[in-house]
Amino acid sequence: QVRLVESGGGSVQTGGSLRLSCAVSGADSGYTRERKLAWFRQGQGTEREGVAVIYPGTGMTAYAWSVKDRFTISQDNAKSTVYLQMNNLKPEDAATYYCAANDRPPFGPWSRASFYTTWGQGTQVTVSS
């Protein structure tokens, strides 16, 4: 069973950058094209929001409109770590960020949290103005 461990959160000022990492282990070798790894975030009193996704088998990515052109999701060559590079951070980006895996059926819309069966413990991002 896949296991996810996030790291890299912290506190930055508006306009700063952070890179989050998600160490992936135990990933299923099947469903090469369908399975995906994503970053979600949840602020205080808000719903969990899909931020970015990568399909490890194809390298395809997608982003929420609110972070497009500022955040970049990527994976290392061994596909054992997924990164989220966050640039030009804004106070509204402050949240707990979670790595999530949808590595077996059912496969649904990437931004819908209910389709993800495995979650990391979360890492906190604080952005001060």
Residue 47 neighbours by CB under 8 Å, 6+ apart:
none
Two structure tokens written together for 22: 């998600």
CA angle, 75 then 79 then 85, to 5°: 15
Q: Say if CB 79 and CB 85 are below 8 A apart.
A: no
Per-residue pLDDT of 59-111, as tens digits, reads: 999 999 999 999 999 998 787 899 999 999 999 999 999 999 998 888 889 99
* Residue 8: per-residue pLDDT: 96
Confidence of residue 29 (pLDDT cuts 50, 70, 90): low
The conformation of residue 104, written as its DSSP 8-state character, comes to S
Two structure tokens written together for 51: 């931020």
